[in-house]
Amino acid sequence: MTPKPPRTLFICQNCGFQTGKWLGKCPECEAWNSLVEEVVSPEPPYRRTPDQVAVRSRPTPLISLSPSQEERRPCGCREFDRALGGGVVPGSVVLLGGDPGIGKSTLMLQVLDRLSGSGFIGLYVSGEESAGQLKLRADRLGITSARLLVATETCLENILKLLDSEKPHYLVLDSIQTLYAASLPAAPGSITQVRETAFQLVQLAKRSGIPIFLIGHVTKEGAIAGPKLLEHMVDTVLYFEGDRSHTYRLLRTVKNRFGPGQELGVFEMRQTGLAEVTNPSALFLSERSLEAPGSVVVASIEGSRPILVEVQALVTPSSLGMPRRQAAGVDAGRLSLLVAVLEKRVGLAFGNQDIFVNVAGGIRLTEPAVDLGIIAALTSSLWERPVAADTLIFGEVGLTGEVRTVAQTEVRLQEGAKLGFRRALLAKGQRNQLRSVKDLQILEISSVREALRRLFPPDR
């Protein structure tokens, strides 16, 4: 009997929906532009052998269970441990994504080197670099540990054999998109392969207790390539970010089943590899121009860490019929909202002005606590009046022009006092909660109009 030829299907990367023709919108999950063409073999679907089927468990009353006694293992890299919530949980699967060349492989090699220095065996399996290329990278990073093992392999079955023979304590796979299961007819990197290899690796980690780190490619939109199911299967999702024109690298936690989300680790890329930045606020403010119109310092919270960053605004007369509104590091929609508040509630005219807002250092701010800082920077640039260099600003701004309180005010102020700031502009009603902050003059305000009067007094 003549075997059937392969056929072409379009598979949604978010939900796995299959169709014989391309569609702009997935009818199942309603995601746009998510269907990818794949050649599917007509061979029978892959079936697990009996030894691969998980052992059935019996239901147990929750109150009779004892909490796990396994503690987190610090990696020896404080910024990496911070992003993980304090260290690596045995049996966890961590997915690390980032742009090409941002330093993902360098980071994981350095982490494995720290772990191997503590007596653990680390196995780094690369599907993209040869052993000789990995050696060149290790020499540049100064890695000399004999407990750090490397291998070049992309077949999942061979990797499982390596684990049986070497018995490492940690495993890094670079990358999940290059792996393939020989029992599946699909090509490496396809939705079917990524889903199946990730599933088997997650099951392996839970059975053996070996922490597994998966390095993933990202799309041009910045999301990890492959089905969205991949991020749901793993325990922790980290994104390694940074602007190539800057030396800073940010390790951001997007998901963490064993710790707080939205944590942030900060690194600096040097010739000898990635160096930890223990005080990112001082680093981001080191090149700040004092007493410059349009420049303010805001206090933001990334996970549990306070970070002080400089927000810059440039307001200049426009020669275009439609003035430009551009933002780098903050949401452009939020910028338009704050400009509308200034026009409606304060009476400032931005209709014929080009507006540019930038967060110095390449960091991206997403929390509403930076609203008041953006408004102060815009007004400072429009009026050509600088904000005092020793003033720290934060607060959420509403559509009626009110300034609202934000979480962790005390932590933000303590960070500001540590870096020498003398004044803080924030929402009214929090003074009783700030008794431990004694080195800062607290300026409480309730509206945007009042905030601008405090920052730019008429007699100044």
Binding-site residue set: 98-105
107 alpha carbon, distance to own chain's centre: 14
- Report the amino acid identity of residue 220: K
274: which 2 tokens?
């990635």
Euclidean distance between CA atoms 220 and 99, whole angstroms: 9
| Residues annotated within a binding site for ATP | 98-105
Euclidean distance between CA atoms 215 and 320, whole angstroms: 45
Euclidean distance between CA atoms 178 and 180, whole angstroms: 7
128 alpha carbon, distance to own chain's centre: 23
Euclidean distance between CA atoms 209 and 346, whole angstroms: 59
For residue 276, the surrounding DSSP H or E stretch is strand 273-276
Site of tokens 């600088």: 386
Euclidean distance between CA atoms 424 and 392, whole angstroms: 5
Nearest to 90 by CA among 110, 112, 69, 70: 70
**Where are the extended beta strands (E) located within 83-175?**
93-98, 122-126, 148-152, 170-174
